[in-house]
Amino acid sequence: VTARSILHIDLDAFFVSVELLDRPELRGTPVVVGGTGQRGVVAAASYEARSYGVHSAMPTVTARRLCPQATFLPGRHSRYAEVSSRLMAIFRDVTPLVEPLSLDEAFLDVTGSLRRLGPAPSIAAALRDRVAKEEGLACSVGVGPSKFIAKLATEHAKPGASPTGPVPGRGVFVVVPDEVSAFLGPLPVGALWGVGPATRERLARLGVSTVGDLARLPVDALRASVGDAVGRHLHALANGRDDRPVTPDLAPKSVSHEETFAVDIRSFDEVQRELVRMADSVAARLRASNLRGRTVGLKVRYSEGFRTISRSSTLHEATDDGLVILAEARRLLGDLDLSPGVRLVGVGVTKLDAGEARQLSFDGLDQPSDASDRRPTERTEANRAVDEIRRRFGRDAIGPGRLANDDGVGTFEPGGRQWGPLDGEDQGT
DNA sequence: TCTGGGGTCCTGCTACGA
DNA sequence: TCTGTCGTAGCAGGACCC
């Protein structure tokens, strides 16, 4: 078996770097992209902002306290997606085996490209040059014999931040097969993909703090502590075993939309109104991806204790119709007590199937669909028309009647992604 | 204190049929 | 017919990732 050559590419402070392309005057200053309201979190921070202790997932309120002079930007998901698709195209020039992990990260299996393009570290360096030249963006690349080693290697390639300012990174970091154990051994267990605070705490109770400690632990002790599947997986990783292939075109397994409100909601009517918007958004995205889902899920998070509950149920057949999803979400909402104050509501769909071409025969026209009295093919036609109108005139051009104002104008915003709620006064029109 | 949004995967429980 | 067991599916919740 010949060793594989896997690259893991990670764009440096991606969202911020894209913003700087459009606002070069902010270069070299602290910039934070993320929710701008009271309940948002940081999605990305420039290395200048990181020197003040700001990091992603930190509440924006905390970031403002640590670095009040930073420029806070709300984030433009569609712009990042557009740049990301060009980056992925560059990666696919090197190999068709590109597995995007997110907008700013991907695995590349270049094993089959070595004869044509040279050794993996040279491919990595060439890719960095191309991304810099064509997109004006910096990225870091990890090279290793497996996905997991390549990903860890990237951490050693990235820039950093110290209290005195940004620290340049190596750009490319290579771990060759012979060096895997020496590379892994001293790393903290938290460096392993899949070890978060909860698992780290359990491992600490077993006296495990480094990957080397974990590798020496009997697999059965590990399974007893963290569960069967997780235990086996971590034991293999700690011993440098990871044969997961780089898989392009992974099909999505769920589609969801959730929102945290700037101010808690207590009324049933308000929650219902949000459900209309979210079900519409999820359905539109399903149709855009030619998918349909069978299990509908509802998520409600209370402010009190940050407690989250979820309810789900499985339909007789898969759907991409907002009304069907809405009806099920409403049923799941049922008699939940909303009086403590709801900070987040979400609607999602799982158990996805490819939405095969619709049967346009007259079969089944006599039965009403689950959610409305209208006939299924009529609903399909209506949904198609809505999708077409939105494609031509924008997302706000048409939407569920319940979301319209008295004058018939609505802010439907079905698919917009945000990084936290807007400030109260900006929300809802 | 404060903790987004969109995901994946795993676990524990229950119900159910063979 | 009753009882235990096993595999599987559905569901709720949690951990984790970027």
Q: Whole-number Å distance, CA A311 to C1' C12?
A: 7
pLDDT at A140: 97
Cα dihedral across residues A26, A32, A33, A34: positive or negative:
negative
Active-site position among A48, A105, A274, A328: A105
CB-to-strand C under 7 Å, chain A 149-178: 151
Indicate if the pLDDT at residue A414 is higher than 60. no
Indicate if the pLDDT at residue A416 is higher than 60. no
Q: Whole-number Å distance, CA A124 to C1' B1?
A: 43
Burial of A198-208, coded b for 16+ CB within 10 Å and e otherwise, reads ebeeebeeeeb
Instruction: Give nucleotides in strand C with any atom < 7 A to a protein C-beta.
Output: 10-18
Indicate if the pLDDT at residue A424 is higher than 80. no
Q: Whole-number Å distance, CA A400 to C1' B7?
A: 26
Nearest nucleotide to A104, CA against C1' atoms: C18
Q: What is the pLDDT of residues A116-130, one digit of tens each?
A: 999 999 999 999 999
The protein residue nearest nucleotide C9, judged by CA to C1', is A314
Burial class (CB in 10 A: 0-12, 13-18, 19+), A399: buried
Instruction: Give nucleotides in strand B with any atom < 7 A to a protein C-beta.
Output: 1-12
Q: Whole-number Å distance, CA A314 to C1' C10?
A: 8
Average pLDDT along chain A: 87
8 A C-beta contact, residue A421 and residue A264: no
pLDDT at A369: 43
Cα dihedral across residues A360, A362, A368, A373: positive or negative:
positive
Q: CA-CA distances (angstroms) from residue A409 to A257, A368, A416?
A: 23, 30, 18
Cα A70 to Cα A62: distance, rounded to the nearest angstrom: 12
Q: Check whether residue A229 has its CB closer than 7 Å to nucleic acid strand C.
A: no
List all residues 6 or more positions away from A420 whose beta carbon is below 8 Å from its beta carbon: A34, A35, A36, A37, A39, A40, A41, A60, A260
Burial class (CB in 10 A: 0-12, 13-18, 19+), A249: exposed
pLDDT at A184: 95
Burial class (CB in 10 A: 0-12, 13-18, 19+), A115: exposed
**Structure tokens given for A60:** 């924006």
pLDDT at A38: 84
- State percent of chain A over pLDDT 90: 67
Indicate if the pLDDT at residue A364 is higher than 50. no
List all residues 6 or more positions away from A270 whose beta carbon is below 8 Å from its beta carbon: none
Task: Give me the mean pLDDT over the A400-404 stretch.
Answer: 71
pTM, 2 dp: 0.89
Cα dihedral across residues A71, A154, A242, A226: positive or negative:
negative
Cα A253 to Cα A272: distance, rounded to the nearest angstrom: 26
pLDDT at A365: 41
Indicate if the pLDDT at residue A285 is higher than 50. yes
Q: What is the pLDDT of residues A181-228, one digit of tens each?
A: 999 999 999 999 889 888 998 899 889 999 999 999 998 888 888 888
pLDDT at A225: 87
Q: Which of A116-125, A141-150, A309-318, A353-362 has the lowest mean pLDDT?
A: A353-362
Q: Which of A198-207, A283-292, A359-368, A382-391 has the lowest mean pLDDT?
A: A359-368
CA A205 to chain centre: 31
Q: What is the pLDDT of residues A99-150, one digit of tens each?
A: 999 999 999 999 999 999 999 999 999 999 999 999 999 999 999 999 999 9
Q: Is A381 a catalytic residue?
A: no
8 A C-beta contact, residue A423 and residue A262: yes
